[in-house]
Amino acid sequence: MRVDELETPVPVVDIDRLEANISRLQSYLDEHGIANRPHIKTHKIPAIAQMQMDAGAIGITCQKVSEAEVMADAGFNDIFIPYNIVGESKLARLMALAKRVTVSVTADSAYVIRGLSDAAQRAGLTLTVLIECDTGAHRCGVQSPQEAAELARLIEELPNLNFGGLMTYPTSEYTDSFVRETRTLLADDGLQIERVSGGGTPAMWQVHVHHEITEHRAGIYVYGDRLTLRAGSVTLDTCAFKVHTTVVSRPTPERGILDAGSKSLSSDLHGLDGYGYICEYPEAKIYALSEEHGHVDFSACERKPEIGERLTIIPNHCCTVTSMFDEVVGMRGNEVEVIWQVTARGTVR
């Protein structure tokens, strides 16, 4: 079947580009001796995670326990969950997972660390815990090397835990000094920082300048999107993921309406102007979304589309888009080669 015969809106991956993206980042990280631990929350598809492993990844990253459960069921056996896991039943699920596959997690508070230790004791296993450090993103993470060192000592003191190193997201200009200071603080305790896990696609080609980083977690790099285009880490020629849509209305000479709205493109803006890049009409602006309609201003375009014309859109943020579809189409040339189930879709717990 040809891709232009598919009903729209439909997310489509160019497999040649996908393969090239996977191999390009792997080669770069190999060249610099940095382990690759891709974040699979971008695609949530075991077959693509397998392509990443086959290319040389040391394991995968999942954001939630339920996402990791799906990947463990699919046969992946080294999974990092860089997340604070809170609550009895989630901790019990984490321990059940850790009995089946190698799992490491993060924590940024004594509360989370104590919960992990109690659950690991009950389960009779030892869990590897890394400290999440805030090196500029102002999301989770300890705020200082002193706090990181204190929590590392707590992990070592408490039963059934193993101090696994430091984690940050995204890797930033502050990462190396943060790690070095923490290392100095822990030297007297005999605690080594062997693993430093950094992440992010926007700055992925600069990872090698951060000499403290031992492994990298990129997610978006497999697909590319408008956020990473803005950052300059992907290009229009390497973007592998597009939402194919159809113009369903031209109510005015300037306005066009697409069959893809917020339920297909997601409402993520992240400071971008408009809700996606229309490849065939780069000057057009998707200025608003209703659930099933994309509102486009074509006034800046010399040529304007007809009703029925198919358009391809690079969304602002591919991760939120894939998590809204049951299936993603893989194409080679203009032919449908595979239809992947987004197996880990909806795994937010």
Ligand X SMILES: Cc1ncc(COP(=O)(O)O)c(C=O)c1O
Binding site for ligand X (CB under 6 A): 39, 82, 169, 199-202, 217-220
Region label for 246, one of left (φ > 0), alpha (ψ between -120 and 50) or beta (otherwise): beta
Q: Which is nearer to ligand X, 170 or 294 (CB)?
A: 170
CB of 17 to ligand X, least distance (A): 16
CB of 220 to ligand X, least distance (A): 4
d(C-alpha 64, C-alpha 84), whole Å: 9
Q: Which residue is nearest to ligand X (CB)?
A: 199
Alpha helix stretches (DSSP H) within the chain: 15-31, 46-55, 65-73, 88-100, 110-123, 145-157, 175-187, 226-231, 262-265, 318-322
Q: Which is nearer to ligand X, 217 or 242 (CB)?
A: 217
SS3 assignment, position 287: strand
Q: Which is nearer to ligand X, 3 or 342 (CB)?
A: 342
Strands 35-36 and 215-217: parallel
Q: Which is nearer to ligand X, 169 or 275 (CB)?
A: 169
CB of 319 to ligand X, least distance (A): 6
Q: Which is nearer to ligand X, 39 or 250 (CB)?
A: 39
Closest by alpha carbon to 56, among 75, 72, 32, 37?
A: 37
CB of 204 to ligand X, least distance (A): 7
CB of 255 to ligand X, least distance (A): 33
- Supply the Cα-derived Rg of the chain in whole angstroms: 22
CB of 317 to ligand X, least distance (A): 8
Query: CA dist 85 to 109, 232, 282, 345, Å?
Result: 11, 33, 42, 20
Look at the block and give the residue holding tokens 């056996």: 77
Closest by alpha carbon to 117, among 155, 79, 66, 166?
A: 155
Strands 276-278 and 285-290: unpaired
CB of 219 to ligand X, least distance (A): 3
Q: Which is nearer to ligand X, 69 or 132 (CB)?
A: 132
CB of 233 to ligand X, least distance (A): 9
Q: Which is nearer to ligand X, 115 or 200 (CB)?
A: 200
- 323 token code pair: 């998590």
Q: Which residues have CB under 8 Å from 67's CB, separation 6+?
A: 40, 41, 44, 344, 347
Q: Which is nearer to ligand X, 12 or 40 (CB)?
A: 40
